[in-house]
Amino acid sequence: MKRAASAVWQGDLKAGKGTVSTESGVLSHTQYSFTTRFENGKGTNPEELVAAAHAGCFTMALSAQLGEAGLIPEKLETKASVTFEKLEAGWTITQIHLEVTGKVPKASVAAWEKATGAAKTGCPISRLFNTTITMDAKLEG
């Protein structure tokens, strides 16, 4: 299975602007820029999209973990907060903090803790941060 998204950028870093789109069409020419990434401009930014992906992935993984324990959640809600800092090596995501609440009938504290721990380490986006990155790069003339 493959999923795809694309980005277009025009101009220099600070004055330029870009758009991101997803194959599904959920994002279609969604604006991003220097101000949406480093200030509070209108639009999105890569770190916000990483947080959304992580929140969604983790919450689905948690539902799966609970299901394996014979538990069906009424509601799971996750907020992922990405910390983005300038280090010596450059701008870096230094931490992602997950805040999750769940309404899970018949779940014990032990079952909840086991499921949340397994989802935190097992969701594909969590594992993404320790992965090999490969690239094909083509320069058009």
Chain segment 3-33, per-residue pLDDT in tens: 999 999 999 999 999 999 999 999 999 999 9
- Residues 6 or more apart whose Cβ sits within 8 Å of residue 90: none
Tell me, yes or no, whether 88 and 63 share the same domain: yes
pLDDT band at 140 (very low <50, low <70, confident <90, very high): low
Tell me, yes or no, whether 68 and 23 share the same domain: no
Domain total in the chain: 2
Tell me, yes or no, whether 54 and 82 share the same domain: yes
Tell me, yes or no, whether 27 and 54 share the same domain: no
pLDDT band at 134 (very low <50, low <70, confident <90, very high): confident
Residue 141 resides in a domain: no
Chain segment 38-65, per-residue pLDDT in tens: 988 889 999 999 999 999 999 999 999 9
Tell me, yes or no, whether 38 and 104 share the same domain: no
Entry pTM: 0.90
